[in-house]
Structure 1
């Protein structure tokens, strides 16, 4: 009797273990990798191995044919400010079939028991609603569309990035530095435009002795973030939704009018641009001066080719003072509210707020970023 009880207990335990088997994000076979070149197997934002995190992988095809792939929707959100106006298609791996599908047609299960990839909240995509419901039944979470999942990724980007940065500082950077100094040749980080390019070179050019994937990632992160200074740039990049750019110092002067911007923080607007592999910024005392600079950068100093290196433009919502991507904002002109330089383009995150402001303050028109012209900007000074 005891023998049969032991066998029964073993079978029940084995059955429960099978039911509770963790979800494996790695590709079960050959993954679909659409990037070109030696760097195709690593995320273009964080450098993580795409085969290991394949079932949360996303990809984009840009208008010029460029293809980029990410380990997660979080890394897509991190890269979005640089590619938003160039994206032709967004793809995601169907976690059931392991095929790339149109992300906008996918069903996402968010907040399941599965650990998130580069995020505190997991977001797993499926091509069919039935597959999403089956996953939800086993692992929990709620089912949403791509737009909802992506908005969640954007909203949590700063917190997720802070969490990741803490982990990297505590473990990956020290490990990477130790391995680099012991097992690698000197590496010129400024030669590379992306961390996956750097990883590919370490392997293909044999810049280090043979490394396991975790060791390779640690070295790449140390070189890219610490030696190359990209950790600071990434922090500025991902925290703009909360902080409207870097803290204004007494040295931040508008390149157009010469005014010290810290004196008028509620009107502050920023242009971020890449210079020598680092993210730099210019601060303006209002959208009007920012647009004057945007249309004619060469007029205001040695900025002749800056437009080719602009990564993002950030303005502040008039009501909340929270940062808004300039190309997503709504602008009211002709109102009875004046900025530090007189008539202004007054930004809002939502069209509804812009309409309410225009009604309350006798505004004349609401514009989107692409509707603002040089002639209109200068007419505000008349």
Structure 2
């Protein structure tokens, strides 16, 4: 264990052991264990943050970048989300899309609370609200973040309905918005594969015509 422990503290090692048991995978090859301490692959399963019992205090200063896409959360503060897991680890993202990645990867780490920016607030930096209390406007013409379908959270159901009258879309709860986030990712994955296949076909055909 000594070699592995050099790059990781004992708690991380125990987490890796726990993860490998869950996944049925041996993760203690030194190359992998060393990588886990420094980069996001393959263990972006674990949020790379210290336990934080009060994540909403100085939230944007503490969590300035989305760990999944690298975008500036202050720039995307109107769509940002924050997941506070039961073990006090925090994943603070730019959008519901990246929050949905966190929830999928951390399926065994229960969320204590999930927060979203209140798009309906007049504040320059939109305040965070618990998603259980939020209404999501799904599929409106409001700009989407990292996704094909706009999904904006509103603390006030009335504000969400007013936005729907102006911008279209449907009102749903967090679960409905989360389902849409996963559907969007599936559609994106299919579209990217189709585009790449089409590009390969064009290259092959161009190559043949060139002779």
| TM-score bucket of the superposed structures, by smaller chain | 0.5 to 0.7
Report whether the alignment pairs 1:138 with 2:166.
Answer: yes
Equivalent residue number for residue 64 of structure 1? 87
Which of 96, 101, 107 in structure 1 is aligned with 2:120? 96
How big is each residue's C-alpha offset from its partner over 1:28-74, in whole Å with a ceiling of 9 and x where there is no partner? xxx9863775xx21111111111111111111001121111111111
Equivalent residue number for residue 141 of structure 2? 113
Q: Which runs of 4+ in 1 moved over 4 A?
A: 161-167
How big is each residue's C-alpha offset from its partner over 1:191-244, in whole Å with a ceiling of 9 and x where there is no partner? xxxxxxxxxxxxxxxxxxxxxxxxxxxxxxxxxxxxxxxxxxxxxxxxxxxxxx
Q: How do 1:279-358 residues align onto structure 2 when only pairs under 5 Å count?
A: none
Number of aligned residues? 135
For the aligned residue pairs, the C-alpha RMSD in angstroms reads: 2.6
The offset of 1:135, in angstroms, is: 1.1
**Quick one: distance in 1 between partners of 2:83 and 2:129?**
11
Equivalent residue number for residue 126 of structure 1? 154
**Quick one: distance in 1 between partners of 2:134 and 2:171?**
10
**Quick one: distance in 2 between partners of 1:136 and 1:125?**
12
The normalised TM-score by structure 2 is: 0.57
The offset of 1:161, in angstroms, is: 4.9
The offset of 1:109, in angstroms, is: 0.4
Which of 73, 76, 83 in structure 2 is aligned with 1:50? 73
The normalised TM-score by structure 1 is: 0.33
Question: Given that residues 94 and 101 in structure 1 are in contact (C-alpha distance below 8 angstroms), is that contact kept between their aligned partners in structure 2?
Answer: yes
Structure 2 residues not aligned, in runs of 5+ = 1-55, 196-211
**Quick one: distance in 2 between partners of 1:163 and 1:52?**
27
Higher relative contact order (CA 8 A, sep 6+): 2
The offset of 1:81, in angstroms, is: 2.2
Rg (Cα) greater in structure: 1
Residues 49 and 130 (structure 1 numbering): CA distance in 2 closer, same or farther, change over 3 Å? same
3-state SS of paired residue (1:109): strand
Question: Given that residues 60 and 74 in structure 2 are in contact (C-alpha distance below 8 angstroms), is that contact kept between their aligned partners in structure 1?
Answer: no
Q: How do 1:180-329 residues align onto structure 2 when only pairs under 5 Å count?
A: none
Equivalent residue number for residue 184 of structure 2? 156
Equivalent residue number for residue 74 of structure 1? 97
Residues 88 and 161 (structure 1 numbering): CA distance in 2 closer, same or farther, change over 3 Å? farther
Structure 1 residues not aligned, in runs of 5+ = 1-30, 168-382
Residues 70 and 165 (structure 1 numbering): CA distance in 2 closer, same or farther, change over 3 Å? farther
